Structure 1
Amino acid sequence: MSFFTSLSGLKNAETDLRVIANNIANAETVGFKKSSVQFADLVATGSATDPRRSPGIGATIAGITQDFVLGPLEQTGRSLDIAIDGDGFFALSNPFSTDVSYSRNGNFRLTAGGDVEDAWGNRLQAFPVDAAGNPTSTVPGDVAVPVTNGAGATLANVTINVRGIVTAAYSDGTTQPVGQVALATFPAPNGLRTIGQTKFQATGDSGAAVFGNPGIGSYGEMISGALERSNVDLAEEMVSLLTAQRNFQANARAIDTATQISTTVINLRQQ
């Protein structure tokens, strides 16, 4: 039995090492959220078992959770780099499948057609606004920036202010609000599924996305010209790495000891 108990410890230590390694590998990934592993013990008992004589049968993984604490903000100076100072996720729509994913990575770009999208072509979702910049709907959609205004002037620049208002500036000096960035929150964000590219997907455990306006209620404000860096603390991860390594070595030594005991017993029987 000691073999299987120590084997469960080896597997758990290996999982812990993989999670820590993934955190370290993404220490410079914009919008990345570190993960941590929670373990639970396994105890083999029955109603007739003496509770004072239950050695247990090892450990198992209770869950791998994301830590959504805010990462450090880095100034970039790009008008389409935006960070969320507080709660919420950017909503991104795949133009082909229309699937919506969620991210804290605010590195966006403007296409020739006037779409605001991320590096993988997913389009930023925003509420439509009137001429004064006030939202006219609670249903977000793709940001569509006109490349020319009514007077025929060409687009010169696009900015996003602290309220998330996307404003287009034209060569004739005029400006026009074209949308307000829609932020999404979830009843249980730890239930979100990671799908790569610093994106998350809603699940039954997370609940459906609840959209709101930046700077109102629990929704964070927009910081233009900045990006949220990874919230991985390398010093903390190195300490966790050493601890996981020690756990792995200790369980391996326990298996080695059990093997030696088994070998000794077998040799006694053969004498």
Structure 2
Amino acid sequence: MAFNIALSGLNAVTGQLDQISNNIANSGSYGFKSGRANFASAYSQGKAGGVYIGSTTQSMSLGGNVLATGRSLDAAIQGRGFFVARDSSGAMVYSRLGQFSVDKDGFVVDSIGRRVQGYGTASGGVLGDLSVPTEAMPAAASTTLNYAGNMSADWQPPAGAFDMADATTYNGVQVSSLYDSLGRQHTLSQYFVRGAGNEVTVYYAVDGTLVDDGTGPVTSSLQFGTTGQLAAPAAPVSIGLGTPDGAEPLQVAINYATTTFFGGDFNTTTNRANGNAPGTVVDTTLAEDGSIQVQYSNGSRQEVGRLALAVFPSESGLTAVDGTSWQPNATTGEPIYGEAGSGVIGSLEVASLEASNVDMAAELVNLMNAQQGYQANSKVLTTESEMVRTLMQAL
């Protein structure tokens, strides 16, 4: 019996050494979670049977250090949660390693090429493979301009008729950038002229040429009330700005809704038009809210999807698989998907990775303890063998 008990001790310690060596070997693996072999005593009909590894505990709740990488598609999870990817067999795998890239087909993949799962902007909230556009962004003509600022109530009406070449005939000017249907950039200048009462008349010029509809300069009138707000209704003003060479007519709706008329300085707080020049993809980045952002050469930035993260009712029971990843089983419960920072799901720290949570000092202590246990069980086998040999010699 002593032979079998000592042998079970050797087998258990060997399993413990396997776990310790795996922890030490993965001390440099990003997103790795250390494990611990738990011994359990064995009995049969009340008689001691030795020991075996009853379970393995994974330190899922213990986070590793967050290391800054400066790489735009790296991310570490602060708190609970796993990144989600689909392997070549179609199975879902879950990982704490947020090291992503874009493959030749435009799919967002993890460090070993598995397709990362998330919510595309056109997916209607359905989980699926995340991808980014690889084609160029076409040109788009400007159709709206949001403008907000303060037309100074201290302005005095100019003495002479408006002349864009004479700064004494207007009270303020603001320049905006617009695009035609071919993606060419144009300059829209708005000239503000104080009129009678609380009226401000706006004249327009495109690329230095006053906009004229054939009957005279194109203008719009901003009527302010006694509280300094635009008199209702403050609908966008649609202005025909001519037809650029070879392009479609440029028609822009200018929204002045939040513009005010107070004493003090003339200022501009919003001056933003839609439209863009053509552009190619120059970079793909990850934001802290989990959104995948594509940067174009024309300066435009577009969100193309969001990472999905998952949590489990019992994460410590997940089954470890290749690629510093895990898969669920009957003990873990079904995954609960969501976005970073929602519910119990942790937040993201971008341009960073989570280091292994292995405590090297503790593992070396465990290694020495395991060595002592192995030597002690070996000594039992040696002693038992000597006793049997002594008995055989006495017979």
- Report the TM-score when normalising by structure 1: 0.89
Whole-angstrom distance in 2 between the partners of 1:245 and 1:259: 21
SS at match of 1:92: strand
What secondary structure, in the 3-state scheme, does the structure 1 residue paired with 2:98 have?
A: coil
1:149 aligns with 2:137: yes
How far did residue 136 of structure 1 move? 4.1
Distance 1:101 1:84 in 2: 16
Higher helix share goes to which structure? Answer: 1
The corresponding residue for 1:50 is none
- The separation in 1 between residues aligned to 2:350 and 2:288, in whole angstroms, is 7
Q: Map 1:138-217 onto structure 2 (within 5 A).
A: 139-147=126-134, 148-151=136-139, 152-217=278-343
Return the match for 1:128 from 117, 120, 126: 120
Match of 2:32, SS? coil
How far did residue 205 of structure 1 move? Answer: 2.0
3-state SS in 2 of match to 1:266: helix
Aligned to 2:212: none
| Secondary structure at 1:38 match in 2 | strand
Alignment partner, residue 80 of structure 1: 73
d(CA) in 1 for partners of 2:133 and 2:299? 15
Q: What are the Cα deviations for residues 93-119 of structure 1, in whole angstroms up to 9, with x where unaligned?
A: 12x422211111111111233211123
Structure 2 CA distance for aligned equivalents of residues 146 and 129 of structure 1: 12
How many positions carry a matched residue from both structures?
A: 255
Cα-Cα RMSD: 1.6
| 2:54 counterpart letter in structure 1 | A
SS in 2 for 1:121: coil
Question: Judging changes above 3 Å, is the alpha-carbon distance between structure 1 residues 150 and 191 closer, same or farther for their aligned structure 2 residues?
Answer: farther
Paired AA for residue 185 in structure 1 = V
Cα deviation for residue 193 of structure 1 reads 1.4
Q: Which stretches in structure 2 are left out of the alignment for 5+ residues?
A: 140-277
Which residue is 1:49 aligned to?
A: none
For 1:178, what is the secondary structure of its paired residue?
A: strand
Matches of 2:17 and 2:317, distance apart in 1: 22
SS across alignment from 1:162: coil
Aligned AA (2:17) = L
Equivalent residue in structure 2 for 1:114, among 103, 106, 110:
106
Q: Aligned to 1:120, what secondary structure does the other structure show?
A: coil
Cα distance in 2 for partners of 1:58, 1:155 equals: 64
**Higher percent of residues as strand:** 2
Structure 2 letter corresponding to 1:40: A
Partner of 2:359: 233
2:112 maps to amino acid: W
The code of the aligned residue for 1:34 comes to: S
| 2:79 is equivalent to residue 91 of structure 1 | no
- Taking the aligned partners of 2:306 and 2:111, their CA distance within structure 1 comes to 20
2 CA distance for matches of 1:127 and 1:66? 30
CA distance in 1, matches of 2:381, 2:105: 63
Corresponding letter in the other structure for 2:18: R
What is the distance in 1 between the residues matched to 2:319 and 2:138? Answer: 43
SS state at 1:57 partner: strand
Shift of 1:258: 1.1
User: d(CA) in 1 for partners of 2:333 and 2:115?
Assistant: 22
| Map of 1:266 onto structure 2 | 392
Larger Rg: 2
Give the letter for the 1:66 counterpart. Q
